[in-house]
Amino acid sequence: MIVMKFGGSSVANAERIRHVASIIQAYQKERPVVVLSAMGDTTDHLLEAADLAVRGTVDCEKIEKLHRDTAKELGVTVSAIEDLLEELKTLLTGISMLRELTRRTRDYLVSFGERMSVRMMAAFLTQQGTKAKFYDAWDIGMVSDSNYMSAELLDEVWENIPKALSDYRDQKTDEIPIVTGFIAKDKNGIITTLGRGGSDLSATMIGAAMKADEIQTWKDVDGIMTTDPRVVPEARPVPEVTYEEAQELAMFGAQVLHPRSMIPCRKTGTPVRVKNSYNIKSPGSLIVESHTGPRPPVTAITTVKNVTLIDIQSSRMLGASGFLAHIFNQFLKWEISIDVIATSEVSVSLT
């Protein structure tokens, strides 16, 4: 079994959905579980619609047009998407009446993108003769805490997912699961979103819980590159990196998996492969626990732009207890993330 994750640009329109469907069909013998993001710019359009609703205007024309035009071009009738569009209108009407958008309501709102995406893909695969079934994340046991907009999955997910997908794992059904990324439900049945890297986290959680042979995340490059190919055209794919290296690269600007999404696969040692949806034959880059061959002197080079460096110097730091705590409490107060810290007896520098 493998897990295949496709981002929004991979399913942005009918042409891309056809292409992704062909990739899924090519890997059908490996019994894939597919994780999808919302189509193209749908999440942005949903947030735009929310902003309008807060000002009293209900308008979701962009979202309706994209999904109806795509369904028409694919030649599929997706009544489930029409039901969701009606539900979305009702939600936007409620927002327009209250003139308020809470974090909880925002999560409910943006969930429509992923939910419509999986229904579209499942319908098209079925039309093409490939058995598929869509699942909202909570259908397979994705339960989170109630930290809306940046929820964390609960430990029970490790047991829920194998139970929910046991028939597919045991080959009692051939319907390929098409699962929403990025979203979950809390203990009260309220929809939550998993924050940055949420779709990647959904995929790695499913792969780790199911003890998949491999988790594949499909992007628009041939894997993890030695550096940014937009800056250095001679950049080439890195065949193999460790989880630790991939996390460091991601933290410092490389377009790899989000660091938090690697936590589940590190627990189980499940390998992650970064592949190119525009170049299926490319082997991509494999992320593993440790190198299987000689470790290169330099794996890759990345950069971070718009970094703010703060340097604090004070003789009162010398031998004082709690001085740094007072400083970092200010960053906590304003919810500012710190990347790198360097300290001495009388100074602290951070970015």
**What does the pLDDT read at residue 339?**
83
6 domain-assigned: yes
Rounded CA-CA distance 224/262 in Å is: 15
Q: Who has greater pLDDT, 339 or 106?
A: 106
Instruction: Count other Cβ atoms within 10 Å, centred on residue 56.
Output: 10
In terms of domains, do 205 and 321 share one? no
- Give me the helices (H) in 131-170, please: 157-164, 166-169
pLDDT of residue 96: 96
Q: Which domain holds residue 323?
A: 310-350
Mean pLDDT of 319-326: 84
Tokens of 311: 């340097």
Q: In this structure, is residue 239 part of a structural domain? A: no
* Mean pLDDT of the region 301-320: 85
Question: Which of 53-62, 238-247, 316-325, 331-340 has the lowest average pLDDT?
Answer: 316-325
pLDDT of amino acid 292: 87
Rg (CA), the chain: 22
pLDDT at 315: 84
Q: Would 90 be classed as within a structural domain?
A: yes
Query: Does residue 84 form part of some domain?
Result: yes
pTM of the shown model = 0.89
Q: Read off the tokens for 139.
A: 């259908």
> Residues 214, 317: one domain?
no
pLDDT at 221: 81
- In angstroms, the Cα distances linking 255 to 129, 233, 250, 276, 334 are 35, 16, 6, 13, 27
Whole-number pLDDT of residue 6: 96
Q: Which of 173, 194, 219 is the last residue of a domain?
A: 219
Percent of the chain's residues with pLDDT above 70: 99
Question: Could you give the angle at which helices 61-74 and 42-54 cross, rounded to 10 degrees?
Answer: 150
Question: Does an H or E element contain 4, and which?
Answer: strand 2-6
pLDDT value of residue 316: 81
Closest alpha carbon to 137 in 178, 173, 172: 178
Which of helix, strand or coil describes residue 338?
coil
Last residue of a domain, one of 179, 201, 219: 219
**Same-domain pairing of 6 and 139:** yes
Same domain, 206 and 64: yes
For 266-306, how does the pLDDT look when each residue is reduced to its tens digit (9 = 90+)?
999 999 999 998 888 889 999 999 888 888 888 889 888 88
C-alpha–C-alpha distance, residues 300 and 296, integer Å: 9
pLDDT of residue 304: 80
Could you tell me the pLDDT band of residue 1, with boundaries at 50, 70 and 90? very high
The residue behind tokens 């110097």 is 313
pLDDT of residue 278: 85
What gap in Å lies between CA 34 and CA 177, rounded to an integer? 6
Q: Domain holding 161: CATH number?
A: 3.40.1160.10
Q: What stretches of 99-197 show up as alpha helix (H) in DSSP?
A: 103-127, 157-164, 166-169
Judge whether 333 lies within some domain. yes
Total number of domains constituting the chain: 2
Confidence of residue 345 (pLDDT cuts 50, 70, 90): confident
Structure tokens at 29: 């013998």
Cα dihedral 239, 245, 250, 254, rounded to 10, equals -40
Q: Which of 117, 137, 112 is nearest to 36 (CA)?
A: 117
**195 pLDDT higher than 80:** yes
In this structure, the answer to whether residues 212 and 344 fall within a common structural domain is no
Closest C-alpha to 90, from 120, 62, 49 = 49
Q: In terms of Cα–Cα distance, which of 270, 274, 269 is closest to 258?
A: 274
Residues linked to residue 135 through DSSP beta bridges, in sequence order:
179
Q: Is residue 198 assigned to a domain?
A: yes
pLDDT at 319 over 90: no
Residues 6+ apart with CB under 8 A from 290: 242
Domain boundary among 219, 237, 256: 219
Q: Are residues 84 and 188 in the same domain?
A: yes
Q: How confident is the model at residue 228 (pLDDT cuts 50, 70, 90)?
A: confident
Confidence of residue 120 (pLDDT cuts 50, 70, 90): very high
pLDDT of residue 317: 80
- Which residues sit opposite 143 in a β-bridge? 185
Mean pLDDT of all residues belonging to the chain: 93
Q: Is 283 within a domain?
A: no
Q: Would you place residue 193 in the very low, low, confident or very high pLDDT band (cuts 50, 70, 90)?
A: very high
pLDDT > 80? residue 251: no
**Does residue 341 share a domain with residue 209?**
no
Range from 54-68, 117-131, 149-163, 246-260 carrying the lowest mean pLDDT:
246-260
Asked if 122 contacts 133 with a C-beta cutoff of 8 angstroms, the reply is yes
Per-residue pLDDT at 250: 79
Is pLDDT larger for residue 236 or for residue 130?
A: 130
**Distance between CA atoms of 22 and 16, rounded to whole angstroms?**
10
Query: Helices marked H in 170-254 — which ranges?
Result: 198-209, 243-251
